[in-house]
Structure 1
Amino acid sequence: MKEVVTMWKNTRMIILVALSAAIYAAFLIVFKGGIPIVPGVTEVRPANVFPPVFGLLFGPAGAWGAAIGNLIGDLFGGTLGMGSIFGFFGNFFLGFIPYKMWGATFGLVPKNDMKQNTNSFKKVLAFELVSLVAAAACGVIIAWYLDLTGIVPFAFLAITITVNNFAASVVLGPILLLLLYPRVKRWGLVWTDIMAKEDVAKGFAKTIGSILMIVGAIGGLIVGVLVAIGVAGQQLYGFTGAQGQVAVWLSVLPFLLMIIVASVMLSGQEQFVEELED
């Protein structure tokens, strides 16, 4: 995770944070008055297509942009509250996981072609994989906190956020990335063209780290929901059941720790591949 700190010494990366945050926040604010799912907490969010795309294109700048943009969206959209605290962290991982996992997608992205583009079927699959994992991680992080504070039950919110996040990116994401990548690349704004390789975390056992990230995000979602339903009496779609249950908190916590450990294990340096001139 070294690069999430070292990027702040680069002016262009800081500008990309501001750009990502502004675009994300603008679209979030527009849809704040749209279709609320949990009033004051979340709503149908087409804007969630941006964090995975910006994460892949802008790396850590896209992750910070997603976190800050969500906070701005809450502030100006009238939904700033307790949920905004972990909403910041959840949205950070929504942009962070895609670029960290991109080079460790079990061969879907070739080692000699790490371009952050969806110009092949395998790369589309890679995008869907990292987007799904990021969507689930975001949902688990936010729902875990809001259940712990007794605001919204875990089962309902975790599923809702995950589906909401992934639905926005599953179709539009690959198309948007396909359209944006050539232009961003031509302008020299892809994060691997801006940052120095040595400023990015080296990582270790990256394939295992990728597996750990998947287990942490998807496993945390599944186990958390099962415990919330079985122990706390919660429902997938509704506010029935107890909140703030220690069993739910403890069952999800190990998976959150897996996400953190996986973040350290994954790198991003593998995306610094010399490109041959045409």
Structure 2
Amino acid sequence: MGDLPPEQPQLPNRVRKPRQSPNRARKQRQQAERKEQKEQEAKPLDKEEMLREFLAISDQGLSPLSPLSSAFRVEIARAGGTANMSKPRESDDMGLKAPFFVSSGQCWEKKPLSTDEFLDDLLDGFSKQKTQIYKRGIGHFPCESAPITQVLKQLWFPDPESTFYAVNMEAKSAVMRIPECLYGIYNLDPKDIKTTTNITPQFSFVDIHVDHGRHGLTALSEDCVKLWALYPLSDYNKAKLSEVYNKNSLFIALQGRLEKGEFCIQTAAEALYLPPGYIHATVTLRGGLTPGIQFTNA
């Protein structure tokens, strides 16, 4: 008998993986990004680290946020750092009414809603006629062509290049009230108070302005963090503000020119009381919802 030919090794059957559709791949990427976002949100808030990250943008010369970040860095340094606003103050060192933090738990008629519940409530009563949508850096004029979906998308996917935010939305269940501690300082009128809410993705910026004649109280949803710039309406500051009031980017234009600035970082644990006539600007370090009320003296 002749030699038998050697057995050929068995090759494994090739299993062809089904080709993934572009839509499915995109959906999986979005799910992964949302999961990562939720994991980030679940971490304890480090507001000082958020501030450092925002101020570090000033070193990125090509970023559209660099001029704003640089102006905040200069102004915070001029103020000697961020301020402790946790104690009620009847006046600042110039004798003017001063802002301060109060516990946010004192500022709600009912238990605060979760962000998802709050957002559902806002969208249930959404009115395009009452809501204005703004784009960071475009002065004080709303973007009438921008849809609310542009703002909602940026809550989960912030866009530092082109940030949109919405203001003056009304919710049915999220109702704020004047905390008792303010009645101990001011003679206030609790009538006709209406809670309005802004949707502010990360990098939203509300430029320097003054809410004349009304007290203000601003809270935040559970995941939102804001940086406030606060200046008293002194005669000196009023004169400086009037010099640039018709310009865009007032905060940048006024860099180094206003006196007695204070800066604070707000989380959902606090609500910021703002007395009538106080000059202020805000930048959102972590996106979320910003409810608030305004009220007058009795």
Instruction: Tell me the TM-score normalised to structure 2 length.
Output: 0.26
TM-score of the pair, normalised by structure 1: 0.27
Q: Could you say which structure has the larger radius of gyration?
A: 2
The structure where helix makes up a greater share of residues is: 1
- Between Structure 1 and Structure 2, which shows a larger proportion of strand residues? 2
